[in-house]
Structure 1
């Protein structure tokens, strides 16, 4: 495909799996707003404002279209929402404490955890390729979180890895909701609703950070990039090959690495990039089980 053809597809919205490239860049930019926003807000507040923006945006569109928000599967939405909330909370905390690319890579261990959880909870059989992917992923995590990390970095690294675990649990319930026939927009809406309520409860235990023009701009950037990224990702999975889309999702790591190096000088040692590569390969193999 030539550049002019690609430009035409971009103008007409016919990108197919290419929408995941757009989503990956937006997710990386979301990470930038999280990291810069941490100077003004706690991770709890950042997650709250991010999900509040998403809930209101989706709710307004759904109501404008005359669609119903009622569901017969609230318990499944609740489990997905709670796991998703804690994944996002740990992820945002890791972003505030670690190089952006490192935090993003740890969160992208979710396919590895999903494969392991599917075997443990759903009794799915793991083939040789998935077993190999789990071994590669484990090696990548150990290399990325090598013992030379300080105690604080180890805590943040554990949080980032925990975000991947909770994301894997959330994806299990996303699959369940898909089998129950719930549309994607409803799954996303209830996730943002439950996460916003959880964030509101947790914010009661801390003093709210003051809002100013600069901090409001960061929150707006966080809300816009995360919501547009979610929409682009949904479009990618709808119009493109799901395996191609899943592989392109790892461009978020690449974009985050470039942005981290440009904005904060976060250049990792060679073994860090090797570790990131191992985790990416692990995720690609795990998603094809």
Structure 2
């Protein structure tokens, strides 16, 4: 496995050359332009040039920055870096950094979780790693990145090239979080169609039960805009309700006026709506900057006029 992952970077038949560049210098020399621009705006140049440190950086390609930008409605990675604040960029970038040097072999031997340098709620946020076939990284919004080139040496650590920008908890708002995860594209389309994106991008906080694309494919069609608005707001609670604070077995008011749901303490937990089929909660506590998302496998249907 170590051989397979390391080989992503090309042939190892040639003799290694001396490495003198820091992580940032190596990234710049290898054409990671969006990453370098983000590092500069975030004020992290000194960190990645620190010759006293030994760090691990998961480095997204320019294409990875472009893809996230497109999902968020921006033209390219440059526009993304310009649109995000320096604090947002610092949060995103430190989520790509481990506090010690870890080669591909170290990652494979290190278990399913790695603590990053991004601190959220007084704790170092973690990345989930799967190493059964290469190195796959799952971020806080449940999207996956692959290490495409491992063990790019630097004088102050190591770079692993990844094909996606990793999104940390608590940085993007609820709408942006849904936009950044392709499994919610139907939900995003419905939110835009009903002009709810402004509300769900607001201060909140909100709790959103987010149906997947598969759930939307099985949902009723032909609803009017007013009916669809009622359906969508039926998935939203005013205030943030994390999984450890769900009031099971009681009727919970939704943002849809006069409409309630009941969350059942089944395994997995499920939500009773106006139909006979409950929606299963398949993932919890996807943290956005203005609330939390819980993923469900069915569109919740209220009683409609």
TM-score bracket, shorter-length normalisation: under 0.3
More helix by share: 1
Higher relative CO (CA 8 A, sep ≥ 6), structure 1 or 2?
Answer: 1
The TM-score with structure 1 as length reference comes to 0.22
Look at both structures and tell me which one has the larger radius of gyration over its CA atoms.
2
More strand by share: 2
